[in-house]
Amino acid sequence: MLWILYFLVVGIAVAYHRLNLTQTTIAVGASLLVFVLLGGPFWVFLLLTVLAVLILVPLNNTTLRQEWITRPALAFFRRVLPDISPTERVALDAGTVWWEGELFTGQPDLDRLRGYPAPTLSAEEQAFLDGPVEDLCRLFDEWTITHTEQDISQQAWDLIKEQRFFGMIIPKRYGGLEFSAYAHSCILAKIASSPGGATASSIVAVPNSLGPAELLMHYGTEEQKDRYLPKLATGEEIPCFGLTSPWAGSDAGAIPDTGVVCMGNWKGREVLGMRLDFDKRYITLAPVATVVGLALKLYDPEGLLPDRDAAEGEFVGVSCALIPSDTPGLDIGRRHFPLNNPFVNGPLRGKDIFVPLEFIIGGAAMAGQGWRMLMECLAVGRSISLPSNTTGVSLFAAYATGAYARVRYQFGLPIGRFEGVAQAIAGAAGRAYASEAVRCMTAGAVDLGAKPSVPSAIAKAYCTEMSQETVKLAMDVHAGKGVMLGPSNWIARAYQGTPIGITVEGHNILTRSMMIFGQGAIRCHPYVLKEISAVNDDNAARGLVDFDNALLAHIGHVLSAAARSLVLGLCFGRIAKVPVSGPTRIHYQRMMRYAASFALLSDSSMALLGGSLKFREAISGRLGGILSQLYVVSAALRKFEGDGSPVEDLPLLHWVCDTAWASIEADADGVLRHLPMRPAAWLLRALVFPLGRHARAPHDEIEMRIAELMTEPGSVRQRLFARVFTPNELDYPAGLLHHAMQAVNDCAALEKRVQKSHKDGVIKDPHPLRRIQEAAKASVLTQAEADRLAHCYALIERVCQVDDFNSEEMMAQKPTRKRRTRDAETPADDAP
């Protein structure tokens, strides 16, 4: 039994340290020699030696290995490899692999993570945040935007154009600001944190995200760049981009919108162009756009496109066009009304519209290249827009919740002192911290030159989901204050609007179940893409060699992941070698443990399910959840160190990490429960959870400490809410909350003195406000102290105030709508 254990330990050690084939052969020979020298049975030694020779000789001999192992494996791989559509192939090739690739290895290089520079703002970018962005945020009034005007003010529109908010990504030579991705992200987050900012941040985000400017910069002709980019930068041209149709949402490759190449009349002359037929919806800025981007399927039935072989067929491919909004036949201007949030959004329709071929972005040379263009640009745009906007909402929700919980009293105590409320405060703050970390790290990746397609999907899904959870917790703490709509309510509109971000750019259900792991498993895995390339290589001999190299490394990768998962699981990660010490060490070690388990589960799921994994979205969604949580922890650790490793922030970091570990174990358990071939799943469970599941949600003490930090002015709040719009004026929610919280803390001793006097019978009035003057008359307070406390209570009363209206004020303008038919619009009889 001891000898069995001995060889088992040797095998695990070899796999754990990922020895190469030569090193493994030497280790096997050495272990056999030790076995016989220490008195092991000679016949067992001979048997094991023969077995080792039979296995290791073919493995070490390239010719034998390729014929006996690699070629059959290659044939099997071809059978189980799922079909990859052309659109999926483009998506796989789009973007770059960044930190997520390290996580897929199962042994991420932590020095690489810690070596990423913390993103910073230039002096020019900081000045823009402190100047024009502050000025813009001061122009928003949420009640006016959402209840009265259904739009931001004309003054705000003018400032956006004047200060070139639409030109943040446009180079300076075209009149843009040419800001970094991080600055772009910080600006959107700050706007979104302001009252009414959800509407405004969407307006600012779209021209700087997936839209004409981004596509023109990368693919436009010089003539198109010179014509449009300067006007886009100054807001003289307002862009939108139409992708989604009633018949194709997330499945953008199935859009039915078409363009047919033909000759036609354009401004009095016969030109080569396209006849367009499209029906788009959910298009932000469409109702006010002056230039419209379109994704459509282009056809060339007569073979009129230059430099194109007729044998290629009439379908050219998805193409992106840019047309003026005053083009005859374009139906534009109507609006959607998404969850009572009036950000400018509406449909685009056109039937039998003729435009010149030069309206294709990039000209005729880029005809049919639209899907690649969109995928490459979307990896960057998705990294910034929605993660930044929804993080801004999360930050303000957490900011307001902590302050309100300090100001609002029940049973003679601030409600933040009650454990149930403290849990909600901690949940809001922890999620805001994690979202801010993800926002910063992902935007920083773009500035480092990455086009992080998988991290951008993680950031979009995580930040939008956490925004919804954070605002829900904020609503729970605000209670009655939160549900009474009116100018005094600063949280309810965000609560109404958070589902919008979840649905945009592909609903999070799709993002989790198909994009994060589905794309990552091939694109980011260290060997799978190499194996697929080898399988599809037209040169059979070269393909065999490449597949052999990738397969050999892949086998080592799986064995190493299994050994590391087992060993680190037995010691809860504590022997993992990490480059840090102190309170964050355990989280780095656990990251190494769960990364190994993730790598093992990923490869095992692909092996056991083969091509069907593509359709087992519940399993791939759980694997995507594990990858996402590993990325979130990476971002949180990076943020903590980038902030200077402040000890005061440790409760927030611990909350994020502990929450992630519990989520990872739950998802891993879900994968193991639903894998086929149950004996294999039982073995995997022993390797992933050798001592069972042990991760737990954050401890009550951590949550109480976070609640304390969020209900007291201090450095932790300053760091966490640095990107929140926090004016000094009382007319803005953040300013009012800040002053009220500060006053309550400053007057805490005075308040206790009055409460004690009331308890002792010195002061008898039951009303808190009337007690103050009674306390002054009884010399419990000086008049100056009484005035301070009265001012404090006035601020409390203003914070807790809710609005009321008469019947006429409750009336909203009666909307009209049209019922769409296939060929016409008619007024609906049941219009509200």
Does residue 326 sit in the same domain as residue 474? no
* 538 secondary structure, DSSP code: S
Does residue 355 sit in the same domain as residue 447? no
Query: DSSP 3-state assignment of 830?
Result: coil
Q: What is the pLDDT of residue 40?
A: 83
Taking Cα atoms as reference points, which of 90, 229, 110, 92 lies closest to residue 168? 229
Q: At what angle do helices 650-674 and 700-710 cross, to 10 degrees?
A: 140
Does residue 516 sit in the same domain as residue 621? yes
Span of 84-98, 176-190, 293-307 with lowest mean pLDDT: 84-98
Q: How many CB atoms lie within 10 A of CB 49?
A: 16
pLDDT beyond 60 at 615: yes
Phi-psi region of 805 (alpha: psi -120 to 50; beta: other; left: phi over 0): beta
Instruction: Write the CB contacts of 367 (distance below 8 Å, at least 6 apart in sequence).
Output: 298, 305, 316, 317, 319, 357, 360
Q: What is the pLDDT of residue 827?
A: 41
Q: Is the dihedral of CA 458, 463, 465, 469 positive or negative?
A: positive
Tell me how far apart the alpha carbons of residues 584 and 702 are, in angstroms, rounded to a whole number. Answer: 15
Q: What is the pLDDT of residue 82?
A: 63
Does residue 674 sit in the same domain as residue 744? no
Tell me how far apart the alpha carbons of residues 202 and 338 are, in angstroms, rounded to a whole number. Answer: 12
pLDDT beyond 90 at 531: no
Mean pLDDT of the chain: 90
pLDDT beyond 60 at 823: no
Q: Is 182 exposed, middle or buried (0-12, 13-18, 19+ CB in 10 A)?
A: buried
Does residue 243 sit in the same domain as residue 325? yes
The residue among 385, 408, 436 that closes a domain is 385
Q: What is the pLDDT of residue 735?
A: 95
Does residue 127 sit in the same domain as residue 181? yes
Does residue 217 sit in the same domain as residue 366? yes
Q: Is the dihedral of CA 440, 445, 447, 452 positive or negative?
A: negative
Span of 78-92, 169-183, 354-368, 708-722 with lowest mean pLDDT: 78-92
Could you tell me the pLDDT band of residue 5, with boundaries at 50, 70 and 90? confident
Instruction: Let me know if residue 404 belongs to a domain.
Output: yes
* 613 secondary structure, DSSP code: G
Does residue 145 sit in the same domain as residue 195? yes
Which domain range does residue 46 map to? 2-60
Question: Is 124 annotated as catalytic?
Answer: no
pLDDT beyond 70 at 310: no
- Residue 679: φ, ψ to 5°: -60, -40
Q: What is the pLDDT of residue 37?
A: 83
Rounded to two decimals, the pTM is: 0.92
Q: What is the pLDDT of residue 812?
A: 56
Taking Cα atoms as reference points, which of 406, 459, 458, 396 lies closest to residue 428? 396
Instruction: Let me know if residue 747 belongs to a domain.
Output: yes
Tell me how far apart the alpha carbons of residues 408 and 410 are, in angstroms, rounded to a whole number. Answer: 7
Q: How many CB atoms lie within 10 A of CB 175?
A: 17
Token pair for 383: 């990294």
Cα separations in angstroms, 461 against 371, 505, 512: 22, 10, 7
Tell me how far apart the alpha carbons of residues 724 and 722 are, in angstroms, rounded to a whole number. Answer: 6
- With residue 164 as reference, give the H or E element that holds it: none
Q: What is the 3-state secondary structure (H, E, C) of 765-791?
A: CCCHHHHHHHHHHCCCCCHHHHHHHHH
Does residue 553 sit in the same domain as residue 648? yes
Per cent of the chain over pLDDT 90 is 62
Instruction: Let me know if residue 556 belongs to a domain.
Output: yes
Cα separations in angstroms, 820 against 182, 573, 823: 42, 60, 8
Instruction: Let me know if residue 270 belongs to a domain.
Output: yes
Taking Cα atoms as reference points, which of 259, 327, 320, 255 lies closest to residue 289? 327
Per cent of the chain over pLDDT 70 is 94
723-780: per-residue pLDDT in tens? 999 999 999 999 999 999 999 999 999 989 998 898 888 888 888 888 898 899 899 9
Span of 3-17, 246-260, 459-473 with lowest mean pLDDT: 246-260
Tell me how far apart the alpha carbons of residues 83 and 91 are, in angstroms, rounded to a whole number. Answer: 14
Could you tell me the pLDDT band of residue 814, with boundaries at 50, 70 and 90? very low
Number of domains in the chain: 4
Instruction: Let me know if residue 390 belongs to a domain.
Output: no
568-613: per-residue pLDDT in tens? 999 999 999 999 999 999 999 999 999 999 999 999 998 888 778 8
Q: Is 499 exposed, middle or buried (0-12, 13-18, 19+ CB in 10 A)?
A: middle
Instruction: Let me know if residue 568 belongs to a domain.
Output: yes
Q: What is the pLDDT of residue 831?
A: 33
Instruction: Write the CB contacts of 760 (distance below 8 Å, at least 6 apart in sequence).
Output: none
Taking Cα atoms as reference points, which of 600, 660, 655, 606 lies closest to residue 628? 660
Instruction: Let me know if residue 586 belongs to a domain.
Output: yes
Bridge-based pairing state of the strands 413-414 and 291-299: unpaired
Token pair for 492: 């309810």
Does residue 552 sit in the same domain as residue 636? yes
Catalytic residue among 505, 665, 703, 785: 505
Q: What is the CATH number of the domain that holds 149?
A: 2.40.110.10
pLDDT beyond 50 at 828: no
Does residue 555 sit in the same domain as residue 638? yes
Chain length of the chain: 832
Mean pLDDT of 122-135: 97
- Residue 781: φ, ψ to 5°: -125, 150
Tell me how far apart the alpha carbons of residues 810 and 804 are, in angstroms, rounded to a whole number. Answer: 9
Span between the terminal Cα atoms of the chain, in Å: 80
Token pair for 477: 């703490």
Instruction: Let me know if residue 82 belongs to a domain.
Output: no
Does residue 370 sit in the same domain as residue 494? no
Mean pLDDT of 91-96: 68
Q: At what angle do helices 86-93 and 370-407 cross, to 10 degrees?
A: 60
- Residue 473: φ, ψ to 5°: -65, -40
Q: How many CB atoms lie within 10 A of CB 38?
A: 9
Bridge-based pairing state of the strands 269-284 and 413-414: unpaired
Tell me how far apart the alpha carbons of residues 220 and 232 are, in angstroms, rounded to a whole number. Answer: 14
